[in-house]
Amino acid sequence: MHDYQHHWKDGTPVHLPLGKIVCIGRNYAEHARELNNPVPEEPLLFIKPATAAVHITRPLALPKDKGSVHYEAELAVLIGRPLTNASASEAETAILGYGLALDLTLRDVQSQLKEKGQPWERAKSFDGACPLSPFVASDKFRKDNIHFTLDIDGERRQTGDTHDMLNPVVPLIAHISSHFSLMPGDVVLTGTPKGVGPLAPGQTLSLELEDLLFVETKVV
Domain residue extents for the chain: 20-218
The β-bridge partners of 214 are 208
Work out whether strand 136-137 and strand 95-102 pair parallel, antiparallel, or are unpaired: antiparallel
Query: Within 10 A of 70 (CB to CB), how many other CB atoms are there?
Result: 20
Compute the distance between CA of residue 208 and CA of residue 187 in angstroms, rounded to an integer: 18
18 three-state secondary structure: coil
Query: Within 10 A of 103 (CB to CB), how many other CB atoms are there?
Result: 25
Contact 174, 34 (CB under 8 A): no
Q: What are phi and psi of 109, to 5 degrees?
A: -65, -45
Compute the distance between CA of residue 27 and CA of residue 40 in angstroms, rounded to an integer: 8
Q: What pLDDT score does 49 carry?
A: 97
Compute the distance between CA of residue 55 and CA of residue 140 in angstroms, rounded to an integer: 22
- CATH for 20-218 is 3.90.850.10
Residues of the chain with pLDDT under 70: 1-2, 31-32, 35-36
Contact 215, 57 (CB under 8 A): yes
- Helix, strand, coil % over all residues of the chain, rounded to 5: 20, 35, 45
Q: What pLDDT score does 30 carry?
A: 76
The β-bridge partners of 49 are 20
User: What would the pLDDT profile of 164-207 be if each residue is shown by its tens digit?
Assistant: 999 999 999 999 999 999 999 999 999 999 999 999 999 999 99
The length of the chain, given as a count of residues: 220
pTM here is: 0.94
Compute the distance between CA of residue 197 and CA of residue 17 in angstroms, rounded to an integer: 31
